[in-house]
Structure 1
Amino acid sequence: MSVMAASNTVKYGIVGVGMMGREHLINLYHLRSEGVAVVAIADPHLPSQKLALDLAHSFNWPIKYLRKKVWCFEGHRELLDSLLCDVVVVSTPNMTHYQILMDIINHRKPHHVLVEKPLCTTVAHCKEVGRSEVVNSARKRQDMLVQVGLEYRYMPPVAKLIEIVKGGSLGQVKMVAIREHRFPFLVKVNNWNRFNINSGGTLVEKCCHFFDLMRLFAGANPVRVMASGAIDVNHKDEIYDGKVPDIIDNAYVIVEFDNGSRGMLDLCMFAEGTKNEQEISVVGEIGKGEAFVPESIVRFGTRVDGRNGVQTLKAENDQIKYDGLHHGSSYLEHLHFLSAIRAKAKAPAVDLHDGLVSVAIGVAAQLSIEKGRFVTIEEVMN
């Protein structure tokens, strides 16, 4: 009998309790009324361990889960071998995802997994995780779900725009434009996110979210990518172990899809002086829709009704109990994943293929900047 079958409580372990790992901890705390408990964490970085443990104690999780000798581990393998957890959240640095995922997938006890984006830093590693016989058999056995943390889908204004597009109000989508103008990358443990080799590159690390949304809006698969980007402002005066960061801080990316639609990303990471961090525009044959974050405003209208017929609404979701760093989307992500686990769903809402394609577009965009030409998805997939 599995741990979860013996109890109504779904027991979570978090691997990697830096900023995002602790964000997951807080979200799961706000899900406690749904029968959730965090029972273990793993992280080799002692300051992160302490911050997470202090946070967990402040939440007053049931005392039986707070014995440090079984609660806190330095590595993910020890956490897995403890057999304490039903679900593992992976929120470690990008370059570690592949090995951790393979270890979870191949462990003797099946664990459901929520892995932070990007799924992996390379297409090859994403494909290898997806090809795993254990994962494929788990789809049949329904004892292991692996969801990728592309939570921007759940932001209320984005979710509302997806609903409008899928409802056909705009007609067949022809163009998707996403603008993210924001602050530079935050400081992470050992500054791992300052280098492409660790993160996969800015267009993988940060922008897989937006490439995932483009696919959703277009309702199609990417064919080829053209990008232009550079390091113009951020991190140029930083040096780590004698090396200067190589991550780009701005780019334009064009993505062509197999149904003839196109997407464009406008990324700038030195644009703090802006009202909305994300602006999304979707234009179909008969109408246009827009979403704005963090204003949480959605606008949509048709060509026939023109400017005076544009509707504006405030996008809200009463289910959200904690807004957090991503405007409630991480909370909804956990809520949906928990529902899928309890329903013994055949697949999660955001699966390994979604994770793979979002990474592939980012890799193609990075390669396009390097080579100065269009890059096909087939090229990076092979």
Structure 2
Amino acid sequence: MKVGIIGLGFRLGYLGYVFKAMDESFEIAGYVDPNPAGLATLTEKGISPGKAYATPEELIANEKLDLLMIGSPNHMHLDHIRIGLEAGLKVFSEKPIVTTIQESLELAALMAKFGHERLMVGLVLRYAPMYRDLRQALAEGKLGQVVSIEASEHIEPYHGAFFMRDWRRYERYSGSFMLEKCCHDLDLYNGVVGARPERVASFGGRKSFIPANDPAREGINDLELFHRKPSGWMGSDKVFDSDGDIIDYQVAIVEYANGVGMNFHTNLNVPDQFRRFCIMGSRGMAEGDFIRGYFDVHEMLTGKKVIENKYKATELSQHYGADEQMATDIIGHVRDGRPLPVSTRDALEAGILALSMDEARRKKSVIDLRPIWDRFDEALHSRAA
């Protein structure tokens, strides 16, 4: 299986290793990246990155590819996806696949033209064992009808500092923190609810990574914690005086078309991090934490715990055992059409929710998503030009 890479950053350098571990025939034919931060990972693992090309067009013209993998900064994804689709290739893009509502509509139109099966997206949590167990519990009726959801994604200070130093600190490149980091989570809960979000309100800002909280002001000079995770393109050493425009905390409430309500909370400065959900249904309750590795289900009538699962991190995966499964399934999809648990449409709907949360935060008002969905459906079902 020969692949080409556009944007050989840390993530695709790591995924190159995972894909190779899952299938020895996986081969990187070439890549395009003026500053390939992920090259060191491939070299360390003894994996050839193939030939370096100056442009995506040169890569595609000179290599016979089974798959084009895109790991460029988020704001470049749409153009790179378009190039791959127009060349007749199957394309895998890291999340989020686009960074604005307008780009979401443009990609929906591309899907109408080229077909949904041609584009795969790296929403890796859909492949996590815990999420599969949650979907099974739902399918078996253990929760009954989903009523409301409480969910969160919180990251440790070293990771929050990374976002303040990396290119992702600029919304013009990342889209926003909610989109860049939390689109995984929003996609999961959209899938659980089984309906589109209709109304959103949100509040947030930056209160942790500001000059007044810089430990150096208190004479603390050991600041390795805040530089532990290396930054790539447009990296900076500034943490508490970052020139970025992303938030470091945000809360949101969502009402779905079927009446389900959800609240979601993210924070970039949590010393004992967690990534938790609690899904309340008419017949039971499911609670889990991807980081702390547990999944419990209680039934309503007796209060009895009917599922009690524990999960251990795998040596290979950065995402709770999901990376290996995603690599296996993507390879199977490219080769023989194996079905995948997440689609481009799912990814676009999660992205639109994240972007609407940010619009609500900026405007301090409730956003009605129904007009957006009307435009989205029109693009999604438009005829090929």
Question: Shared fold by TM > 0.5?
Answer: yes
Question: What is the 5 A alignment of 1:107-126?
Answer: 107=87, 110-126=88-104
Residue 83 of structure 1 and its aligned partner are, at CA, apart by 2.6
Deviations 1:316-367 (A, max 9, x none): 79xx7x533212212211211222222236x753222112111110111001
Give the match's secondary structure for 2:166: helix
Supply the AA of the counterpart residue of 2:12: G
Partner of 2:115: 139
Find the partner of 1:311 among 307, 310, 313: 307
Q: Which amino acid aligns with 2:101?
A: V
Structure 2 SS opposite 1:161: helix
Q: Which residue of 2 aligns with 1:38?
A: 28
- 1:1-382 to structure 2, matched below 5 A, reads 10-33=1-24, 35-45=25-35, 48=37, 50-52=39-41, 54-55=43-44, 58-59=46-47, 66=48, 71-107=51-87, 110-132=88-110, 135-136=111-112, 138-139=114-115, 145-183=118-156, 184-185=159-160, 187=162, 191-234=166-209, 244-274=243-273, 277-306=274-303, 308-315=304-311, 323-344=316-337, 348-381=340-373, 382=375
CA contact (8 A) 2:155 2:268 kept: yes
49 and 246 in structure 1: CA distance in 2 versus 1, 3 angstrom threshold: closer
* Contact 1:222–1:361 (CA under 8 A) maintained in structure 2: yes
1:188 positional shift: 7.4
State the secondary structure of the residue aligned to 1:177: strand
- Give 2:34's aligned amino acid: P
Q: How many residues align?
A: 347
**Residues 235, 145 of structure 1: alpha-carbon distance in 2 compared, 3 angstrom cutoff:** farther
> Could you tell me how far apart the structure 2 residues matched to 1:380 and 1:235 are?
35
- Report the CA distance between 1:38 and its aligned residue: 2.4
1:153·1:213 contact (CA, 8 Å) conserved in 2?
A: yes
Provide the secondary structure at the position in 2 that maps to 1:212: helix
Q: Spell out, residue by residue over 1:200-245, the C-alpha distance to the aligned partner (whole angstroms, 9 max, x if none).
A: 11111111111111111111111111111111112657769x9821
8 Å contact kept, 2:96–2:347: yes
Q: Distance in 1 between matches of 2:195 and 2:175?
A: 24
| Post-superposition CA distance 1:27-77 (Å, at most 9, x none) | 1121124x422222221115x264255246x14xxxxxx5x8x62224322
Contact 1:160 1:315 in 2 (8 A): no
Which residue matches 1:7?
Answer: none
How far, CA to CA, are the matches of 1:358 and 1:24 in structure 2? 22
Q: Secondary structure at the match of 2:318?
A: helix
Structure 2, unaligned runs of 5 or more: 215-236, 376-385
- The change in CA–CA distance for 1:186 and 1:44 in structure 2 (over 3 A counts) is farther
RMSD: 2.7
Partner secondary structure for residue 253 of structure 1: strand
**1:359 and 1:173, CA in 2 relative to 1: closer, same or farther beyond 3 A?**
same
TM-score norm. by structure 2 comes to: 0.82
Deviation, 1:147, is 1.2
Please give the alpha-carbon distance, in whole angstroms, between the structure 2 residues aligned to 1:260 and 1:226.
15
- CA distance in 1 between partners of 2:94 and 2:42 (Å): 21
Highest RCO, 1 vs 2 (Cα 8 Å, sep ≥ 6): 2
Q: Give the Å deviation of 1:162.
A: 2.0
In 1, Cα distance between the equivalents of 2:238 and 2:292? Answer: 36
Report the residue type matching 1:38 in the other structure: I
CA 1:50/1:118 → structure 2, altered by over 3 Å: closer, same or farther?
A: closer
Q: Distance in 2 between matches of 1:149 and 1:195?
A: 21
Question: Partners of 1:311 and 1:348 in 2: how far apart?
Answer: 26
Task: Indicate how the Cα distance of structure 1 residues 269 and 359 shifts in structure 2: closer, same or farther if over 3 A, else same.
Answer: same
Shift of 1:187: 3.7
Deviations 1:284-327 (A, max 9, x none): 10100112122321100111121x4453122479xx7x533212
Higher mean displacement: 366-375 or 189-198 = 189-198
Q: Is the 8 A contact 2:296 2:305 kept in 1?
A: no
Tell me what 2:234 maps to: none
Contact 2:9 2:39 in 1 (8 A): no
- Is the contact between residue 161 and residue 290 of structure 1 (CA under 8 Å) also seen in structure 2? no
Provide the secondary structure at the position in 2 that maps to 1:114. Answer: strand
The AA in structure 2 aligned to 1:344 is G
- Residue range with higher mean Cα deviation, 261-270 or 184-193: 184-193
Distance of 2:329 and 2:308 partners within structure 1:
27
- Is the CA contact 2:123–2:184 (under 8 Å) kept in the aligned structure 1? yes
Amino acid at match of 1:172: Q
Taking the aligned partners of 2:238 and 2:162, their CA distance within structure 1 comes to 13
Moved more, 249-258 or 153-162: 153-162
Cα gap change, 1:189 to 1:221, in 2 (>3 Å): closer
Aligned residues of 1:192 and 1:198 also touching (Cα < 8 A): yes
Q: Displacement, 1:113? A: 1.2
- SS at 1:30 equivalent: helix
